[in-house]
């Protein structure tokens, strides 16, 4: 049975902090707090929409949370500035350890997929801009089942779409909510803990493996 790797996109393959420079040019000092708030609120909106069965394109969660943060931080960005931020979000950089790690896992015989709340077109655009789209066997977006992570619906959709089985599938993610969601569905999980101070939720699920970068992934997988 082929082993399958599902790589989360935002925060795992793609560095969402890549938006910082643009934010800092627009607002100076609050950029760091603004960026963190924006990401948290974006995810909160996706969770709430999932529970409410009110799915929409993930970019709507991104735009709504941007507007929320402008009010919260009392920063009056123009429509042009907001559009510029949304456009920058479409071409965020990949982390430097992604290309070699994904290629080596594929050479080792793993099926490798990008797996995201983002639409297939948004994710394909990000990976194309980063020059790594053709390193993946496919892009699996949760849009097909009109649901967001960490609903079990999306993890089951991934298995169906890739003809994989939970016990032979790994979720590779920097996001604890995603790791816990996949673990609750019986998947193996790798938490990519890039920041020393990153905290995992004290729930009754822990990652199968924890790595500080994707350069450690293949070695860690072969040791399990
Ligand atoms: C994803 O890419 C939002 O990181 C999450 O699905």
Helix (H, G, I), strand (E, B) or coil at 167: helix
User: Which atom of ligand 1 is nearest the CA belonging to 149?
Assistant: 6
150 pocket-lining for ligand 1 (C-beta < 6 Å)? no
- What value does the mean pLDDT take over residues 148-160? 98
User: Which atom of ligand 1 is nearest the CA belonging to 12?
Assistant: 4
Q: Whose CA is nearest to atom 1 of ligand 1?
A: 116
- Look at residue 210 and tell me whether its pLDDT is greater than 80: yes
- Predicted confidence at residue 66, as pLDDT, reads 98
- 146 alpha carbon to ligand 1 midpoint, in Å? 14
Cβ-contact 153, 62 below 8 angstroms = no
- 117 alpha carbon to ligand 1 midpoint, in Å? 5
Question: 183-206 pLDDT, tens per residue?
Answer: 999 999 999 999 999 999 999 999
- Look at residue 134 and tell me whether its pLDDT is greater than 90: yes
Question: 88-126 pLDDT, tens per residue?
Answer: 999 999 999 999 999 999 999 999 999 999 999 999 999
- Predicted confidence at residue 32, as pLDDT, reads 97
Q: Whose CA is nearest to atom 4 of ligand 1?
A: 10
Question: 26-83 pLDDT, tens per residue?
Answer: 999 999 999 999 999 999 999 999 999 999 999 999 999 999 999 999 999 999 999 9
User: Which atom of ligand 1 is nearest the CA belonging to 8?
Assistant: 2
- Predicted confidence at residue 1, as pLDDT, reads 59
- Of 116, 141, 177, the residue with max ligand 1 atoms within 8 A of its CB, to mutate for a pocket test, comes to 116
- Strand partners for 173: 191
- Look at residue 2 and tell me whether its pLDDT is greater than 90: no
104: nearest Cα among 215, 2, 194, 10: 215
What does the alpha-carbon distance between residue 207 and residue 204 come to, in Å, rounded to a whole number? 10
What does the alpha-carbon distance between residue 115 and residue 127 come to, in Å, rounded to a whole number? 12
10 pocket-lining for ligand 1 (C-beta < 6 Å)? yes
């Amino acid at each position: 049975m082929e082993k399958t790797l599902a790589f989360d996109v935002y925060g795992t393959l793609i560095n969402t902090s890549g938006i910082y420079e643009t934010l800092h040019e627009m607002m100076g000092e609050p950029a760091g707090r603004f960026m963190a708030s924006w990401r948290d609120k974006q995810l909160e909106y996706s969770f709430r929409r999932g529970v409410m069965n009110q799915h929409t394109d993930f970019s709507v969660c991104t735009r709504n949370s941007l507007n929320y943060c402008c009010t919260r931080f009392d920063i009056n960005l123009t429509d042009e500035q907001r559009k510029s931020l949304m456009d920058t979000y479409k071409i965020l950089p990949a982390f430097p350890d992604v290309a070699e790690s994904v290629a080596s896992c594929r050479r080792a015989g793993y099926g490798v997929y990008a797996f995201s709340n983002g639409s297939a077109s948004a994710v394909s655009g990000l990976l194309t801009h980063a020059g790594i789209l053709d390193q993946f066997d496919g892009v699996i977006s949760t849009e097909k089942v009109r649901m967001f992570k960490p609903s079990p619906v999306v993890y089951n959709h991934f298995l169906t779409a890739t003809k994989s089985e939970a016990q032979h599938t790994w979720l590779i993610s920097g996001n604890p909510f995603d790791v816990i969601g996949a673990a609750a569905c019986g998947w193996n999980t790798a938490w990519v803990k890039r920041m020393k101070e990153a905290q995992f939720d004290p729930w009754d699920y822990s990652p199968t493996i924890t790595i500080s970068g994707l350069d450690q992934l293949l070695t860690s997988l072969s040791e399990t």
